[in-house]
Amino acid sequence: MSLWQIDAANEMKEFLCGIIDADKIGLTGSKLEPASLDVFSDVDIEIHLPVNVAVDIKLLLRALAERFCAIFGYEFHSSSDGYTLRICFENGWRFDLSFITPELGESRSGDDSFEDRVDAVINRFWFLSSMVLVKLGRNDYLIAAHLVLELCQLIIHVQMLMRDEAKKTDKHKFGDCEDVPILHSLVQKKKRDTEDEILYILFQAAENMDKMSAKLELGYHNRNNKLRELLYEPIKIHRFSPFN
């Protein structure tokens, strides 16, 4: 069976070679062991950067969206030896792009403005929502439940950032008895099985994040419907598969 990762890995590697001045770009992870691949696997790519070469993450994200398709969500992590961009496109393709840097290497992921901080939380939310579907597809209800509750925390995180921005401070000795809409979604009487409970919370969280994003008026588009497409789109391999 031909899986999406085969062609996607080659396309991504060729694209990165054309836009990044790297010492080496290579495939890692399960892609090196085709027998271990399933439709839920992502594609792991390592990019080894020369000394003093940095990657502008914002520019890279725009270039990726133009070359492939719209970005559904992403998260960014840094460490002592580099940084990783985990990304999910709206067609369901997922990549882990690990940038390995010498001691003086660094990333340019933008300043720490309100918009940048909100953008990071919102995109992490949508990336993790795609991972909930992956974990459900692999019948890992424990991890799926852990992730879906983290989504609820991320919604509250955005609310806290909005309060900080409105009050121009992140020091709050007292609150204002703020409403926390996502909590209402968690308190419901209808009994469901574990899988249905996770999906219920997932889509309640997605609706809440869309509403929260709309209030920000920063040009975010609703992604709840796209998330439902990733879940319900007909697929021969698995009913939960988020991939075309």
Compute the mean pLDDT over every residue in the chain, rounded to the nearest whole number.
85
- pLDDT value of position 144: 95
pLDDT in tens, 74-123: 999 988 788 999 999 998 899 999 999 876 444 555 557 889 999 999 99
Q: How far apart are CA 93 and CA 70, in angstroms?
A: 11
Q: Check whether 196 has a pLDDT greater than 60.
A: yes
Choose among 31, 91, 82: nearest CA to 55: 82
Q: Which residues 6+ apart lie within 8 Å of 196 measured at CB? A: none
Backbone angles phi and psi of 217, in degrees to 5: 55, 45
User: What's the pLDDT band for 7 if we cut at 50, 70, 90?
Assistant: confident
Model pLDDT, residue 1: 41
Predicted confidence (pLDDT) at residue 219 exceeds the cutoff of 90: no
Residue range 1-24: mean pLDDT, rounded? 87
Reported as type and span, the H/E element at residue 14 is helix 4-19
Lowest mean pLDDT across 65-74, 97-106, 220-229: 97-106
At position 32, the amino acid (one-letter code) is L
pTM of this prediction?
0.86
Neighbours of 151 (CB within 10 A): 23
DSSP category for residue 173: S
pLDDT of residue 72: 95
Q: What pLDDT does 233 receive?
A: 59
pLDDT, residue 112, reads: 78
Comparison of pLDDT for 185 and 24, the residue scoring more: 24
Rg (CA), the chain: 19
Q: Structural domains in the chain?
A: 4-108 (3.30.460.10), 114-232 (1.20.120)
